[in-house]
Structure formats: structure tokens, C-alpha cells
A = this chain, B = another copy of it.
Amino acid sequence: MSLNLQEKILQAASELFYSQGIRATGVDAIVKAASTTKMSLYKYFSSKDDLVIAFLRKRDEDFRVWFVDQVNGKADTPKAKLLAIFDVIGEWMAVPEFRGCAFINAAAEFPLEGNPVHQVSAEFYDHFRNYIADLAEQYGSKSPKNLALQLSLLIEGAIVSEQMKRHSGSAEQAKQAALVLIEGSLSDMPDTSLLTDNSEEEQ
């Protein structure tokens, strides 16, 4: 509830970074939004880059905690959870403040792989995919990591699709596709040997 100054600055910065973009947000705007001064900002964060990293790290943690909570609140079984992911994504997309994925956006604004901002963003999806892979394994997928990657492609695609054009039904379509992939990934499915593949053959 009551935020100390450092948290207040970070929160103001986070909202601006996410809603306007990182490069588009100047420190003066952050300072004004947090009702403080540059001197205080630079007391807690050594540079704007520092603040950007802090924003992404906190967002990583907060978002994943919130997300797992949401999924667990909607479903009990691994399969149901895998599907519920798309409902949570769909609801998240529907809020008017939605501006896409902060990490995808950050990686787009800082395109070089070596950039720290880019790297922290990449870590988020590592974590996220591991979460999906765990569910896929509990579910009994014959190749949980492959299924997790495929589902995460649908999720990321749905997010950027919705970011480009709102309310185009990306989450619902992604869920329908996910259902097909999930059921097709069960170990004891009949005659799916030609549909899925655990190797990386060339066409």
C-alpha cells in the first residue's frame, strides 16, 4: 500500500515505460509522474538504464507470480491449466491498458542481443517456457519441451497480433490451436507418428 520513494519512482517509471515505450520516456517525465526530483531518482538508480533493468526484473517476477495464480485459479489438471493459460492471456489482452508484452517491446527497442535490456527480456521467456514445459510434462506430453515451445509460439504470436490490432480474437484462435497440439502430443495417441516428430530433420 504505502510505497517508499524508491518503489514510487519504479512504479511511475514502469507505467510510463510500458505505456509509452522506454526510449520515448524521459527521466523528467518519470520524475514528474513520481512527484519527486531527479536528485532522488539518481540516488536510487545510478542511470536510466539501471531503472529500465529494474523495471524489467520486477515485471518479470510480478507478472509470472500473477500469471501462475490466475491459471491455478481457473484449472486443476495439467491439461486444463495448459488451456487456461490462453484464457488468462485473453483476459489480460482485454484490459484497455494492454500494450503488448513489455519484454517483446523492450527487445524490439534494444535489438542487439548483447544489450542488457535485451538479455533480461530474453530471460523472461526462458522462465515462462519452463513453466509451460513443467505443465506439459505433468500432462504426459511425449515431448514436453517441444510442446512448450509450440504453445509459447502461439502465446507470443497472439500477444503481438493483439498488440497490432485489438480484439481480433487472437487468444481464442490460439486456444483452439493449442487444444489440437496438446491432444496430439499425448504419448498414447493413435497414428500421430507422422504428425509430430522429436527430431530436427530438414524438409
A interface residues, Cβ below 8 angstroms from B = 19-21, 23-24, 80, 83-84, 87, 99-100, 103-105, 107-111, 113, 118, 121-122, 125-126, 146, 149-150, 152-158, 160-161, 163-166, 168-170, 172-177, 179-181, 183-184, 194-197, 200, 203
- In the complex, the answer to whether B166 meets A161 with C-beta atoms within 8 Å is no
A interface SS class: helix
CA of A127 to CA of B80 in the docked complex: distance in angstroms? 34
**Given A84-B203, A156-B157, A203-B83: A195 and B180 interface contact (C-beta under 8 Å):** yes
Are B111 and A100 in contact, CB atoms less than 8 angstroms apart?
Answer: yes
Cβ–Cβ < 8 Å partners of A155 in chain B: 157
Whether A149 lies near B170 (C-beta < 8 A) is yes
Q: Which residues of B contact A80 (CB under 8 A)?
A: 203
Assuming A24-B23, A109-B23, A111-B21, is B196 touching A180 (CB within 8 A)?
Answer: yes
Q: How far is the CB of A54 from chain B (nearest CB, A)?
A: 20
Contact indicator B153/A157 (Cβ below 8 Å): yes
Q: Which of B122, B168, B173, B197 contacts A165 (CB 8 A)?
A: B122
Residues in B with CB closer than 8 Å to A173 are 146, 149-150, 153
Per the bound structure, the CA–CA distance linking A20 and B20 in Å amounts to 19
Closest 4 CB pairs of A and B: A153-B157, A157-B157, A108-B108, A105-B108
Q: Is the CB of A200 within 8 A of B169?
A: yes
